[in-house]
Structure 1
Amino acid sequence: MNIEWSSGSEAASLQGDALCFIVSEAQAQGEGLSAEWAERISLLSRAGLFSGKLGQIYLLPVTSRPELPVVILAGSGNGSTAVHDLRLLMAQAARAAHRLKADTLIVQIPDQLNQLPEALKAETAGQALAEGLVLGAYRRRQYKLEQPGYAGLSAVRLHMERQTEESEDERWKSGLLRGQAFGEATNLARDLTNLPGNLLTPSELAAAAIEVAERHGFPAEVLDEREIELKGMGGLQAVGKGSVNPPRMIAIRYQGTNQWENVVGIVGKGITFDTGGISLKRAPGMEDMISDMGGAAAVLGVMEALGRLRPRINVVMLIPSAENMPAGNAFKPGDIITSLSGRTIEVLNTDAEGRVVLGDAITYAREWGAERIIDVATLTGAVLSILGDVATGAVTNDEEFLAELLEASRLSGEQIWALPVYPEFREMLKSEVADIRNAAGRYGGATTAGLFIGEFAEGLPWIHLDIAGTAFLSKERGVNPKGATGVMVRTLLEYLLRLAPGSGFEADTAQSSS
């Protein structure tokens, strides 16, 4: 999708398949609108068809303007529109444009947008608008014999009727570029997560990662099953050995400064299909286990956006990837595994495999120089019992580190809730025969699973994000479609970009890490 910005009196000359007109509840009553629109929209309001309520969409044919034959009325609410509201508004507009099979969309930006509480910066508003457009335009790939002829929106022009100064134009364009990068990175994660298991094996996921790395000139490494064994990654080797599609450890490095220092490690669980192994899952719903690599997709999406935005930060990405399958040589309950860290793991449940592979990846991230680590994983069913599919659960050993990430999540609109980490939960992971066991029973399962991973951080600031509920939705909600959401891509990017010199947040970060 090509997104452009313009301002000035040229609005009458703009042409497209549809015009998106942002209307508040007060304007729906006829207040502050030009005579051309006041009568039409107030008539719709009186008829109960359109009230300007936040997120409300109404399609209005306009026979008098052949250059813009359909107007998409997008409700902005009562005038206190927040940044996430703008994002949602544009997602709804993009979906409406898709229903119209529009190729080109014109979005008229109201001048009062700059007066809204959280949209005082043109960059912030521009980012939210572009994100919403890209996220809302997403469609899952279809494998039907007859493919749809319509490919979706190809161009969007955001236009403000007031003539803006050149400096303000540049801020709007900067925000749009950043928002488009965030949105397209999220859509990359969605595409990968939606791929069926026969089309996305560990080796295919590695190939997708190498494609991202080569596109942006990043150093990358993929360890195959033999190298994983020689390296001593006993956790990843054990989980992956039961499949005909062998495991892979994937690493990509982004260096945005002269020195390889202050490195953030982002680690994503890459189980490309999870049967549960010997501890076999029930058949109903198992088809959704194509999404068990949602964490890997998220961190790979982050690397795609970093390649486009080029901030002055240093990031290493790790993906431990495997298929968890039952077989004669599969790992089984009662096994003792030696991880890359040297810690031994007692296996009580082979369906608790994600934490096992992530343990090796956390240790490997330390070898790559990571000084703080965030792991993202579709880890537990237990987190759905607590947070449903509404919020991502977080476990951490550093409250200040988590506070920084939570601030980023408030900007992205992706909800995170911190889970308790009382010492009693760690006690539940003790094993009589090994250093740690991979399952601690039904109670507190989301916390104990996260704390298992945290053992391998060995004191480094670390956050675990359990996206088991938020990575894959059963129906469309907000800016997210049915299926893969690409959750945490935008939150991680907001956090990482705040670390870059000149962002205005580096002083806070330095203080919290001291």
Structure 2
Amino acid sequence: MATSFTYGARSGGQLPEALVRFITEEQLKGFGDPANVIIHPEIDARLKKGYDKEVFQAKPKQTEIVSTLGLFELPYIVFVGYEDGSGLDGIRRAAAAAAKALKSIRVKHAEVLLQSTILNVAITEKGADAVAQALTEGLVLALHDRKPLKKDQTDRFALEEITFKPEAGFDEKHGNKQVWELGINRGKIITDGVGYARDLTNLPGNDLTPERLAFHAEELANSLDLEIEVIDEWTATEQRMGGLLSVGQGSINPPRMIVIHYKGASDSSETLGLIGKGITFDTGGISLKKAPGMEEMISDMGGAAAVLGAVKALAELKAEVNIVAVIPTAENMPSDRAFKPGDVIRTMSGYTVEIVNTDAEGRLVLADGLTTAIRRGATKLIDVATLTGAVMVALGYEATGAVTNNDSLMEEVKRASEQTGERVWQLPAYAEFKNNLKSDAADLKNSGSRYGGASAGGLFIGHFAEGLPWVHLDIGGTAWLEASRGWEPKGATGVMVRTLVELASTKK
């Protein structure tokens, strides 16, 4: 069940079950003063006592649920720590913490108090619509969990309604109802795209084969009235997609190349190519991975999911941009038909690649993905891929790694990521990294030294950009989490959907 949002003062009807109130540590220090009652003398004193005992300090992400026991009009107050000056990211994280607290007491209808003391700086700097969007995103994304395939589905929690209630003094300078509803609506559309990406990524590999991923893409495109082309293995052979075909040849489930066109700026000659790695399951092929943790390789199509989620949101937002979304999808399996180390393959672009490691397969399908996007009119390129383990060595689960050939496009990506709170860290693109990919048998080999592997993997893909502005986003550490954090759940995160939407929909 989707959460509904309203903005404005309460006007009759059933009372909410809880009030969410953001609070800073400085504000909390003033609680308990009889001359300055904030909520109710007893509730204030209780909260101040907790602060003195260092139980609740109003630190970021801290929450305190207070049962009002008839001392206040609503049964519960959820106090959420907030740090002054933390901007949209802090607001989003505070909203996520509030959502988890509401879930813990199974609240179906909650009221979020909009306080000028908390939100004024962010509204002044970013606008009320951006603050409304951040609040909506934090609340919705934190409640989105993996949908387990269980017989009994009766225990699914749903926060059905959120009311944003302006406090006294929260006037027109903080944005009117129309502005807030605009931001709320944008937040709902974008979080719906993230949720779509998460649900798709969480599907088990026996369900989400390349053909099934193409089916989901067709369903999405048809629902949005978008042009879609699904290239099967026969047509891929005709178009000489050697990268895609070699990776997919070891599986009984044949590969697909999916192309979706969104045309939101008919007067523009620019088209953004979004290419998402769609390996629906990655065993490593002949270069077989270790068994522990291999079940998480259902997430190796997280880049494809991010691109589809972004296209969904951009189309629903009616963004004024042209997009060609390309998803090369295959299953990397070991068999008597599988490609193997020592093979030399020819990619769609004509470049040849010596295979030295079949577990470096994502860059091979992305090579053909970039060529496909270019031949269908892309003028700049962004690929999103769970490409390397090396990026996790460098950045852990904390940031997406980036490699580029164009500083201007990279700066646009960085600005978008700063707005969304999805961290992106640019990695070096030294020529020496690419030198490690030189082959005696072909134009390139698909893997080199284990040192600088994230940069080298990105530069392999960039070889196929044909000189167009290009950014590679390695989500190897951010697409899948072993434990929830902030607004991101355990499992698939849908990372980069919001950054791609921000990038593509922001007026330049």
Tell me whether the two structures share a fold, i.e. TM-score over 0.5: yes
Show CA shifts across 1:474-509 (max 9, x none): 1112221111111111111111111xxxx3xx2xxx
Match of 2:236 in 1: 228
For residues 66 and 51 of structure 1, the distance between their equivalents in structure 2, rounded to whole angstroms, comes to: 22
Is it true that 1:102 corresponds to 2:107 in the alignment? Answer: yes
1:357 maps to: 365
Aligned match of 2:178: 170
Question: Take 2:122 and 2:264, find their aligned partners in 1: how far apart are those partners?
Answer: 33
Answer yes or no: is 1:60 the counterpart of 2:66: yes
Out of 29, 36, 40, the residue aligned to residue 39 of structure 2 is 36
Listed one character per residue, the Cα deviations across residues 216-242 of structure 1 (whole Å, up to 9, x for unaligned) are 111111111111111111110110011
Displacement of 1:11 after TM fit?
Answer: 7.1
1:153 corresponds to: 159
1:152 deviates by 1.5
Q: Is the 8 A contact 2:23 2:118 kept in 1?
A: no
Instruction: Kindly indicate whether the alpha-carbon contact (under 8 Å) linking 2:142 and 2:487 is maintained by their aligned counterparts in 1.
Output: yes
The 3-state SS of whatever aligns with 1:156 is strand
Letter in 2 for 1:71: I
Q: Report SS of the residue matched to 1:59.
A: strand
Report if aligned partners of 2:99, 2:139 keep a CA contact under 8 Å in 1. yes
Counterparts in 2 of 1:89-488, with a 5 A limit? 89-117=94-122, 120=125, 121-162=127-168, 164-165=171-172, 168-259=176-267, 261-488=269-496
- 1:15 Cα deviation from its structure 2 partner: 1.6
Tell me which moved more, 86-95 or 138-147.
Answer: 138-147
How much has 1:164 moved relative to structure 2? 4.2
Given that 1:341 and 1:456 are in contact with CA atoms closer than 8 Å, whether structure 2 keeps it comes out as yes
Q: 1:80 aligns with which of 80, 85, 88?
A: 85
Letter of the aligned partner of 1:406 in structure 2? Answer: K
Going from structure 1 to structure 2, the CA distance change for 1:112 and 1:44 (only over 3 Å counts) comes to: closer
What CA distance in whole angstroms lies between the structure 1 residues aligned with 2:86 and 2:37? 21
CA displacement at 1:39 relative to structure 2:
4.5
Corresponding residue for residue 511 of structure 1: none
What secondary structure, in the 3-state scheme, does the structure 1 residue paired with 2:176 have? helix
Number of the residue aligned with 1:5: 6
Normalization by structure 1: what TM-score?
Answer: 0.93
Secondary structure of 1:36's counterpart equals coil
- Whether the 8 Å contact between 2:40 and 2:71 is mirrored in structure 1 is no
Whichever residue aligns with residue 96 of structure 2, its letter is: A
Q: What displacement does 1:468 show?
A: 0.4
The AA in structure 2 aligned to 1:318 is V
Deviation at 1:364, TM superposition (A): 0.4
Q: Which residue of 2 aligns with 1:46?
A: 49
Task: Describe the shift of the 1:119–1:25 C-alpha distance in structure 2 as closer, same or farther (beyond 3 A).
Answer: farther
Amino acid at match of 1:21: R
> Could you tell me how far 1:165 is from its partner in structure 2?
4.4
Distance 1:319 1:417, change over 3 A: same
Once residues 41 and 192 of structure 2 are traced to their aligned partners in structure 1, the CA distance between those partners, rounded to angstroms, is 36
Q: CA RMSD in A?
A: 2.0
Question: Residue 119 and residue 191 in structure 1: after superposition, are their counterparts in 2 closer, same or farther (change >3 A)?
Answer: farther
Using the TM superposition, name which of 124-133 and 109-118 deviates more. Answer: 109-118
Give the SS at the match of 2:132: helix
Local SS of the residue matching 1:456: coil
C-alpha deviation, 1:56, in angstroms: 1.1
Look up the equivalent residue of 2:165 and give its one-letter code: H
Shift of the 42–215 alpha-carbon distance from structure 1 to 2, 3 Å rule, reads farther
On the 8 A contact 2:210/2:255 being kept in 1, the answer is yes
> What is aligned with 2:505?
497
CA distance in 2, matches of 1:119, 1:221: 45
Structure 2 CA distance for aligned equivalents of residues 17 and 465 of structure 1: 42
Letter in 2 for 1:348: V
Structure 2 spans left out of the alignment, 5+ residues:
none
Distance (whole Å) between structure 2 residues aligned to residue 258 and residue 396 of structure 1: 28
User: How far 1:119 moved relative to its partner?
Assistant: 5.4
CA contact (8 A) 1:57 1:92 kept: yes
CA separation in 2, counterparts of 1:356 and 1:65? Answer: 64
Residue type of the alignment partner of 2:328 = P
| Letter paired with 1:216 | L
SS in 2 for 1:128: helix
Shift of 1:12: 8.0
| SS of aligned partner of 1:283 | coil
Structure 1 residue 21 and structure 2 residue 21: aligned?
yes
SS in 1 for 2:463: helix
Moved more, 425-434 or 84-93: 425-434
Q: Deviations over 1:153-191 (max 9, x none)?
A: 122111113464496221111111111222221111111
Cα separation, 2, equivalents of 1:80 and 1:324 = 47
- Asked whether the equivalents of residues 3 and 130 of structure 1 are also in contact (C-alpha less than 8 Å), the reply is no
Q: Report the Cα offset of residue 113 of structure 1.
A: 3.8
One-letter amino acid of the counterpart of residue 62, structure 1: T
Distance 2:430 2:364 in 1: 22
User: Quick one: structure 1 residues 38 and 415, their matched pair in 2 at CA, closer, same or farther if it must change by over 3 Å?
Assistant: farther
Q: Distance in 2 between matches of 1:392 and 1:130?
A: 23
In structure 2, what is the Cα distance between the partners aligned to 1:102 and 1:229? Answer: 55
Instruction: Summarize deviations over 1:266-289 as a string: whole Å, max 9, x none.
Output: 110000000000111111111110
Q: Give the superposition deviation at 1:136.
A: 0.7
1:94 is displaced (CA, Å) by 1.2
Contact 1:371 / 1:461 at 8 angstroms: preserved in 2? yes
Deviation at 1:42, TM superposition (A): 4.0
Shift of 1:51: 2.6
Residues of 2 paired with 1:11 and 1:60: CA distance? 24
Residues 45-74 of structure 1 deviation map (CA, whole Å, 9 limit, x = unaligned): 323332322221111112327973222111
Relative to structure 1, the CA distance from residue 65 to residue 271 in structure 2 (aligned partners, 3 Å threshold; closer, same or farther) is: farther
Distance 1:340 1:20 in 2: 55
Deviation by residue 1:307-349 (Cα, 9 ceiling, x = unmatched):
2111111111110000000011111111111111111111111
Shift of 1:4: 2.5
Is the deviation greater in 95-104 or in 408-417? 95-104
Larger CA deviation: 285-294 vs 27-36: 27-36
Cα pair 2:103 2:157 within 8 Å, conserved: no
**Secondary structure in 2 matching 1:352:** coil
Q: Distance in 2 between matches of 1:165 and 1:210?
A: 44
